[in-house]
């Protein structure tokens, strides 16, 4: 029996070193230490990926905004009409206030598309082509009402307006009162100016007659 026990002890002593021999007796390499350190740092201090992504998106949006703003400003500068183009357009409008004026024909004068012409016109004149033409027609009508005795219907026709009703509506929108009221309010001043001018002419004729009779 003792012999069996001693055999078991020997077999146990022979088997027990097995796992120890299977372990690596070499020290860990630098790469293994670096990986362990990196994994431990990630677990200890996680990176704020969401905050970093938002910051990057914000920076991208700001860059896009600056680029678009710069491009629009450059396009606006290039779209402004040159002085010679402005004179050409104004001359055409003034010469055709009694007729139909279309945006297309104005754009063709300066070799622009209708879309780009409207934008360039607003940048140069501060108004749309239609608004500018309507205002100039009203201003011409005011001049005719002050310097002539023609009817409002005829003035409307000479300013390129469809009829007197359209003229009344347009004039009230720009001036704030009807053409008839505006004309009557200034009729007295116009008559006073005429009488004063006629008096000056009479004095001039009288002085000329005196000089003639005196032999000068």
Domain with 135 in it: what CATH number? 1.10.10.60
The pLDDT assigned to 5 comes to: 47
pLDDT band at 206 (very low <50, low <70, confident <90, very high): low
CA dist., res. 150 & res. 71, Å (int):
53
What is residue 73's predicted lDDT score, i.e. its pLDDT?
A: 53
Q: What is the distance, to the nearest Å, from the Cα of residue 89 to the centroid of all Cα atoms in its chain?
A: 21
Residue 6 inside a domain? The answer is no
Half-sphere exposure of 51 (CA within 13 A, CB side): 3
pLDDT value of position 194: 54
Examine residue 13 and state whether it is found in any structural domain, yes or no. no
Residue 96 in this model has a pLDDT that exceeds 90: yes
Phi, psi of 153 (to 5 degrees): -65, -40
Q: Is 135 a residue whose pLDDT tops 50?
A: yes
pLDDT score recorded for residue 22: 46
Pair (110, 159) in one structural domain: no
Residue 149 has pLDDT above 70, yes or no: yes
Q: Which domain holds residue 119?
A: 74-126
Q: What is the pLDDT of residue 80?
A: 56
Shared domain check, 149 and 120: no
**Residue whose tokens read 């608004």:** 131
CA proximity to 137, closest of 172, 93, 88: 93
Report the predicted TM-score, pTM, of the whole model to 2 decimal places: 0.54
Res 38 pLDDT > 70: no
Count of the separate structural domains present in the chain: 2
Higher pLDDT, 146 or 12: 146
């Amino acid at each position: 029996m003792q012999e069996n026990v001693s055999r078991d002890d020997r077999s146990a002593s022979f088997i027990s070193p097995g796992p120890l021999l299977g372990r690596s007796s070499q020290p860990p390499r630098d790469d293994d230490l670096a990986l362990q350190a990196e994994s431990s740092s990630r677990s200890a201090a996680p990176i704020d990926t969401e905050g970093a992504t938002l910051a990057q998106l914000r920076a991208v949006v700001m860059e896009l905004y600056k680029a678009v703003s710069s491009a629009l400003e450059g396009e606006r500068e290039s779209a402004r009409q040159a002085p010679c183009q402005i004179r050409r357009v104004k001359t055409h409008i003034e010469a055709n206030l009694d007729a139909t004026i279309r945006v297309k024909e104005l754009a063709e004068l300066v070799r622009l598309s209708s879309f780009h012409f409207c934008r360039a016109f607003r940048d140069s004149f501060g108004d749309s082509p239609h608004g500018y033409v309507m205002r100039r027609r009203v201003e011409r009508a005011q001049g005719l009402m002050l310097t002539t005795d023609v009817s409002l219907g005829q003035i409307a026709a000479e300013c390129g307006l469809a009829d007197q009703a359209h003229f009344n509506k347009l004039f009230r929108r720009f001036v704030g009162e009807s053409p008839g009221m505006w004309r009557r309010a200034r009729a007295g001043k116009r008559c006073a100016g005429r009488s004063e001018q006629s008096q000056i002419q009479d004095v001039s004729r009288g002085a000329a007659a005196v000089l003639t009779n005196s032999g000068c």
